[in-house]
Structure 1
């Protein structure tokens, strides 16, 4: 039975949300509802989903967050390394590379261009591969992979993972334009 692996680069999402969208550290109410992402992965491709949430635990393990992730159905992946190592990126790249030998589908939750090569190797066959991100901050290198079958999902608008509307300036496809949003 096919499975979707949902790989979450939580640091990248949190940094983009805080630095690029809000201009400050997000409050708990402004963070994604991670359970909705897992449901989105299941519903979008109509199959089971396994969520892997990668955490840099070099300075300790945030136990309350880890327990919350487990309660939501995620498998936390706590990592440690040297200060100059991007342990979350390294682990996600290794996971993407390992998935190349399997038939499972993959959704990556990140904006990071460091994953371009690993994502590209998953394309071109029967496997479905998607990137969930704020589309205006997604690394532009992913766009070139669309013709190879890479699918894109907006973290806010497609997954409905937020309880509040974020202050984003988003390019609106004309088919989705609603003038009442501006009046």
Structure 2
């Protein structure tokens, strides 16, 4: 019998676009990007099992070698893709569909509603844990409404950033800290 695994599927393009367009309103500086090693650590410690981390990225003609080498050094499997259309989405959808037949848990790092059918299928499987990681206020409503799926905030739960982001979010009163505002 093999040990259960968590598959961490990272839609790098979506996270980068959401961070730049929706959170910062500009292209993120390198120090403002997520610390991908913290995301991997969060996935490992959240469900206390080994993680296979797949980082999907669209490339044109050349591989972003320094970034890919950094991902590999952290323990990710880089999945550089080239082609027409939403190639990263297609690859993640195909991967999620392939995971349906495995006894494994799945964390998706994206805000994109294009993954709803696959995540519904995965979340609907008995004894499978599923989670979405990202910024809740920018998460597709359809993803948030999938029964049985967990949500992990990339900034607050994962602590993937070295400084606080300029986000406006709904705060549960039990989590309200007036010192954050005064």
Name the TM-score class by shorter chain.
over 0.9
Q: Which residue number in structure 2 is paired with residue 17 of structure 1? A: 19
Cα distance in 2 for partners of 1:107, 1:31 equals 19
Deviations along 1:38-58, whole A, 9 cap, x unmatched? 000000001111110001112
Cα distance in 2 for partners of 1:34, 1:66 equals 12
Structure 2 residues not aligned, in runs of 5+: none
- What does 1:1-183 correspond to in 2, within 5 Å? 1-82=3-84, 85-124=85-124, 125-145=126-146, 148-183=147-182
Cα distance in 1 for partners of 2:92, 2:144 equals 20
Shift of 1:59: 3.2
Shift of 1:61: 0.9
Moved over 3 A (4+): none
Cα distance in 1 for partners of 2:170, 2:159 equals 17
Aligned residues: 179
Structure 1 residues not aligned, in runs of 5+: none
